[in-house]
Structure 1
Amino acid sequence: MDKIAGLDEAAELFKALGSESRLALVWLLSREPLTVSALVDRSGLSQPLVSQHLRTLRAAGLVSSEREGKEVRYSLADQHVAHVVLDAIAHVQEPTDQGNEE
């Protein structure tokens, strides 16, 4: 089989998204750019945990940051990531058709 272009990078993307907490942060950032304190308030995660997950997401190129005075505002680097996450959430929320299994 020929190697599919971008497959390694796509696997790395899914590794970075492979945490319920990181998915929640991406979901929150898909709605609007937020500071760490706002992400802590809205996610229910501790500040150190939010910061750790943001580092992982930044290293993967999924999140960008912009300093605003004393605070840093985080946003998604690319809306494609939001689509991947939102589509995955929509997919798992769809009712399954149990009656057509063969």
Structure 2
Amino acid sequence: MHEELRAAAELFKALSSESRLTLLRILADGPLSVTRMVEASGLSQPLVSQHLRSLRAAGLVAVERSGREAHYSVSDQHVTRIVDDAVKHASEG
């Protein structure tokens, strides 16, 4: 059980940034390039790339490359539900 709690804590660490939550919500609709995520989020390209690295390291997003183009997607739909539930919970309080 201790290992499961450690893994859950790591997940919440990865989700502790408003910018990363924003990117996950944007990706919930389907795979996008960094350029499209920059447009949709209003974040700078370096910041989007930095947060995507963190999300990839946590196993929350995947990348598929086609030539020079890279498209990112949510790795696990459970994460999308966690984010949606957290936003809903926060707005009810």
> Aligned match of 1:30 in 28, 40, 46?
28
Query: TM-score w.r.t. structure 1 length?
Result: 0.86
Q: State whether structure 2 residue 46 is matched by structure 1 residue 45.
A: no
Query: TM-score w.r.t. structure 2 length?
Result: 0.94
In structure 2, give the amino acid aligned to 1:73. Answer: H
Partner of 1:90: 88
Instruction: Tell which structure's C-alpha radius of gyration is larger.
Output: 1
Q: C-alpha displacement at 1:69, in angstroms?
A: 2.5
In structure 2, the gaps of 5 or more residues are none
In structure 1, the gaps of 5 or more residues are 97-102
In structure 1, give the amino acid aligned to 2:45. Answer: Q
Q: Which has the higher helix share?
A: 2
Distance 1:70 1:59 in 2: 21
Q: How does 1:1-102 map to 2 (within 5 A)?
A: 3-94=1-92, 96=93
Give the superposed CA RMSD: 1.1
Distance 1:5 1:20 in 2: 26
Q: C-alpha displacement at 1:11, in angstroms?
A: 0.2
Distance 1:34 1:17 in 2: 19
Distance 2:62 2:3 in 1: 25
Aligned residue pairs, count = 93
Runs of 4+ in 1 over 4 A off after TM superposition: none
